[in-house]
Structure 1
């Protein structure tokens, strides 16, 4: 049983865009921050597994998306906090993500959904806070967009703006990842 996209152009296109943006962000941030690059790479791999036939079962793809959310996103926030000297918040975010990744098997589908959305919102808010204090415009936009994606994922509707809700969230995640990549670049330029 291979995972199959719904066949809609928006689903396939949103997965491809998220994968390409995340892979580009991983490559462009690899020199400055290996942790953030690993987070972007996890997102790219999760998007790729949803599209590629023969890479595993639907459960494998969902597990990949789970790991990309609870480990990949905290890796992005880790760098923002670490560079600004807030090492305890950086370690707390990453450690919490690791604990959730391990505990994912003990949570039901609804529990994983809520935990994933909570991680997305916590990461978005903490990066937004750091971006505001460091006047990093890209970080502010990235935090706002990822926060919106987290809130949109909680809506009960299956379609938003005539597209499936999951596609809208992937588009927002792709735009937010691009903004975070630019924010990381800006942040590292300020500290050099």
Structure 2
């Protein structure tokens, strides 16, 4: 059996890191916030599915990643906004994600890619704004990491930091998920 090339190991490790971080965050936030836990769980399931399916690009895996982006990330932002009393932004983000999830079947792959990147950036910016006004340092780091993942995915380069661009984006998303998990915990402590 031939050894796996570095790019396959890199892809597997980035999917595994995102799945583990997101699953851990889902389990620990389930008691306090079911919405955020569902968002983390969608991310974990999408990453685990890609890992288990052999990192392929079949339609089921891509659909799972699409749902994790357009519904899972708005669920994370929903809780962050809701707890701070910004219910209109929370509902708008979640409603927009639901509309995109339904409309995804009518978009081509480029349209889905652009819409997914837009969702990532909108969620990152809105959480970053709330985190700045509430002085939630973890929220600021989470917003920065998620924003970095969204911006890096738009670059034309195939490799960043000697790794495939998609892997770097997943590592940034995993770091952002960990920071959001901590931000939600910090936020809950402030409100108790």
Q: CA deviation at 1:53?
A: 3.3
Q: CA deviation at 1:162?
A: 1.1
User: Normalising by structure 2, what TM-score?
Assistant: 0.94
User: Normalising by structure 1, what TM-score?
Assistant: 0.94
Deviations 1:28-85 (A, max 9, x none): 101111000000000000001101138x971100000000000000000000110011
**Residue-pair matches, total:** 188
Equivalence for 2:100: 100
Q: CA RMSD for the aligned pairs?
A: 1.7
Equivalence for 2:178: 178
Point out 4+ residue stretches in structure 1 off by more than 2 angstroms.
none
Q: CA deviation at 1:117?
A: 0.3
Using the alignment, how far apart are the partners of 2:133 and 2:189 within structure 1?
16
Equivalence for 1:38: 38
The unaligned stretches of length 5 or more in structure 1 are none
Question: Contact 2:7–2:163 at 8 Å: present in 1 too?
Answer: no
Using the alignment, how far apart are the partners of 1:151 and 1:57 within structure 2?
22
The unaligned stretches of length 5 or more in structure 2 are none
Do residues 91 (structure 1) and 91 (structure 2) align?
A: yes
Do residues 136 (structure 1) and 136 (structure 2) align?
A: yes
Question: Contact 2:15–2:51 at 8 Å: present in 1 too?
Answer: yes
Using the alignment, how far apart are the partners of 1:165 and 1:53 within structure 2?
20
